[in-house]
Structure 1
Amino acid sequence: MIIIDGQESSFKVNNFANLEELLVKVMEQDYLENRVVTDVLINDESFSEIYPHQAEDIETREIASVEIRSVPVAEMAMSISRELYKVVQIMSEGSRKVAELFRQADDSEALETYQDLLEVIRDFLGMIGVLRNEFSLQEQKVFNEAVEEISSLLGEMTEVMENEDWILLADLLEYEFLPAVDKWKQVIHLIREDIKSVKG
């Protein structure tokens, strides 16, 4: 039995050799167009791959039921955009903390925290990029200015870091990076408005 979002599908588990074959076929259905799969349950137990193509190793003879749950892309995007506000907060707090540590001459702790901050920024920009590709933004100017500012600052901070000028890096984080991060709240708000108009 294969259930997709609470509805029994016409597909039969035993028509497929393995789980991957089954999932690929189900994903090709029009019903899942513009939807994101959130959960796959095998025999009522949550399944997620530990290694690539693990589903290929699971033979269907071991499976009694498959349940697939999904949400519309726009709904998923709204929930991601809500999370982005939290990420902006994390970036603000992180940059304050790094600046403070550099000023206290706790360089090793500061550098470690700074690396974590850079990772958060990379992930943040990645998520923003995905949303931007999925939902063409109407306010391109605001978005482009925010991206340009943060990219330019990241470049400058990398140079300062190479010169090991920790006090200058602390100043950049506190007086330039923090206000730049704050501007992303407006960008996220605009992205949410664009998603709502698509969802509407």
Structure 2
Amino acid sequence: MIVIDGQNTGLTVSNYENLEDLLVKMMESENLESRVVTDVLVDDEAFSEIYPHQAEDIETSSIQKVEIKSVSVTDMAVSITTELETVVQIMSQGGRKVAELFRQADDAEALELFQDLLDVTQNFMRMIAVLREEFDMSKSTEFNAASQEISGVLTEISEVLENEDWILLADLLEFEFIPSVEKWDRVISLLRQDISE
């Protein structure tokens, strides 16, 4: 039995060679069109691959039931925007803490925390880029302005890092990075509205 989002599809697991074949065919079906798979249950136990293409090694002859749970792309995007608001807060607080540590001349801890802040910022920007592409935000002036501003600030930060001027870096974080990051709250709110409509 193959179940998608609580509905029995009427399809049989044994019609497929292995679990990967089954999952690929289900993803290509109209049942999962414009949807994102969140969970796969094999005989009522959560399945996730430990190594790439592990599902290919699982023969369907040993499986009675596969259940696939999904959400719409729109619902997933709205959920991501909620998470991004939390990330904005983390970036803002992180910028304050790093600036404070540099001003206290605790350079080693500041640099370690700064690296974490850069990683979070990179991941944030990647996710924003995906949403921009998926939901065509290229015409949004606020989105474009916020993107250009944070890119400019990150370029300045990169230049200051090369000179190892930690006080100037603290100033950049406090007076340019944090205000730039906090503008994303409004942009993300507008993005969520656009996605929901």
What CA RMSD, in Å, does the superposition of the two structures yield over aligned residues?
1.1
Given residue 99 of structure 1, which amino acid in structure 2 is its aligned partner? Answer: A
Describe the superposition over 1:154-174 as per-residue Cα deviations: whole angstroms up to 9, x where unpaired. 111011111111110000000
Q: 1:138 to 1:144 in 2, by over 3 A?
A: closer
Runs of at least 5 residues in structure 2 that lack an aligned partner in the other structure: none
> Which aligned pairs between 1:6-25 and structure 2 lie closer than 5 A?
6-25=6-25
- Alpha-carbon distance in structure 2 between the residues aligned to 1:136 and 1:84: 18
Structure 1 equivalent of residue 2 of structure 2? 2
Runs of at least 5 residues in structure 1 that lack an aligned partner in the other structure: none
Describe the superposition over 1:5-58 as per-residue Cα deviations: whole angstroms up to 9, x where unpaired. 111113211111211000001111112111111110011111111222111111
8 A Cα contact 2:4 2:31, kept in partner: no
SS of residue matched to 2:88: helix
Describe the superposition over 1:125-169 as per-residue Cα deviations: whole angstroms up to 9, x where unpaired. 111111111212386111111111111111110111111111100
Structure 2 equivalent of residue 180 of structure 1? 180
8 A Cα contact 1:4 1:68, kept in partner: yes
- Alpha-carbon distance in structure 2 between the residues aligned to 1:99 and 1:50: 40
Structure 1 moving runs of 4+ over 6 Å = none
Structure 2 equivalent of residue 93 of structure 1? 93
Given residue 49 of structure 2, which amino acid in structure 1 is its aligned partner? Answer: E
8 A Cα contact 1:139 1:190, kept in partner: no
- Alpha-carbon distance in structure 2 between the residues aligned to 1:49 and 1:115: 30
SS of residue matched to 1:50: coil
> Which aligned pairs between 1:1-200 and structure 2 lie closer than 5 A?
1-137=1-137, 140-197=140-197
- Alpha-carbon distance in structure 2 between the residues aligned to 1:53 and 1:109: 40
8 A Cα contact 1:98 1:113, kept in partner: yes
Q: State the Cα distance separating 1:63 from its structure 2 match.
A: 1.3
Describe the superposition over 1:93-146 as per-residue Cα deviations: whole angstroms up to 9, x where unpaired. 000011011111111111111111111111111111111112123861111111
Given residue 189 of structure 1, which amino acid in structure 2 is its aligned partner? Answer: S
Q: TM-score, normalised by structure 1?
A: 0.95
SS of residue matched to 2:52: coil
- Alpha-carbon distance in structure 1 between the residues aligned to 2:182 and 2:135: 22
Report percent identity of matched pairs. Answer: 64
8 A Cα contact 1:137 1:194, kept in partner: no
- Alpha-carbon distance in structure 2 between the residues aligned to 1:87 and 1:139: 24
8 A Cα contact 2:77 2:195, kept in partner: yes
Equivalent residues, number:
197
Q: TM-score, normalised by structure 2?
A: 0.96
SS of residue matched to 1:70: strand
SS of residue matched to 1:129: helix
